[in-house]
Amino acid sequence: MSTPANTVISADAKTVKEWYDRNEIVLVDVRETSEYDQEHIAGSLLLPMSSFDPEIFPEIPSKKVVLHCAIGKRSEAAGKMLLSEGYAGVIHLTGGIDAWKAAGYPTEVQILPPDKKAAEPVYLCPPPGSILAKEYLNPLKISVDQLAGNIQISVNAVDALIKGETPIGVELSLRLARYFSTAPDFWVQLQLDHDMEQARHKMGEEIRLKITPRTAQ
């Protein structure tokens, strides 16, 4: 069954790697510059969502263009923006760079001086409030007051979300999804990925050392 023309095409890491090895694609990374600097797929083109403009998106007739981000949510959103501007055959990497690495494919990692390597852990999943501000409110010129009124919550609640003081729950995810035309779980999934990454850095190693998998007992 063919994919409808108004749908962002999903491609898994194995398929994208095969295209990549045959030099059939241009990979477009829609994460932010700080994320790209920390780690990226070699040869990928950086077009951050915070400044993503479908009207000036490059057209390369001889190659497929594949969008990717950290986990596949932002790249799918960018794909929908391209579809709205009339682009056809928009493709994004399912699972993002996380899926690419999980499949064992290489990335380029920023090499830091020895005195900076142990300073701070590298975080690749920013809080959803940061993504909301950088990739939606700022580019679309929507104020905190406007958003609060449009999704019918308090200005203080939106402000606290953007500052990272409160998490996104399922109800707020539904409100944001309705307003920005995203998947219903898009925003709460960003929160889950952020929380999971924070937990892994905070207690992941302790859990690994103290808990033995049932299959290994």
Give yes or no: 69 in active site. yes
Using one digit for the tens of pLDDT, what is the confidence trace for 65-112?
A: 899 999 988 999 999 989 888 888 889 999 999 999 999 999 987 655
Residue 86 belongs to a domain with what CATH number?
3.40.250.10
- Res 18: pLDDT: 95
Assess if residue 119 is contained within a domain.
no
Domain boundary among the residues 88, 112, 136 is at 112
- Res 14: pLDDT: 96
- Same domain assignment for residues 98 and 149: no
For residue 204, pLDDT over 80 is answered with no
For residue 1, pLDDT over 60 is answered with no
Catalytic residue (one of 13, 26, 69, 99): 69
- Res 216: pLDDT: 64
- Res 121: pLDDT: 60
DSSP letter string, 23-49: T-EEEEE-S-HHHHHHEE-TTPEE--G
Which structural domain, as residue segments, surrounds residue 89?
9-112
Assess if residue 151 is contained within a domain.
yes
Residue 138 belongs to a domain with what CATH number?
1.10.260.40
Using one digit for the tens of pLDDT, what is the confidence trace for 35-75?
A: 888 889 998 988 888 778 887 777 777 888 899 999 988 99
DSSP letter string, 79-132: HHHHHHTT--S-EEETTHHHHHHHTT---EEPPPPHHHHTTS----S--HHHHH
Are the C-beta atoms of 102 and 13 separated by less than 8 Å?
yes
CA 77 to chain centre: 9
Q: Structure tokens of 47? A: 């077009």
**Residue 118: pLDDT band by 50, 70, 90 thresholds?**
very low
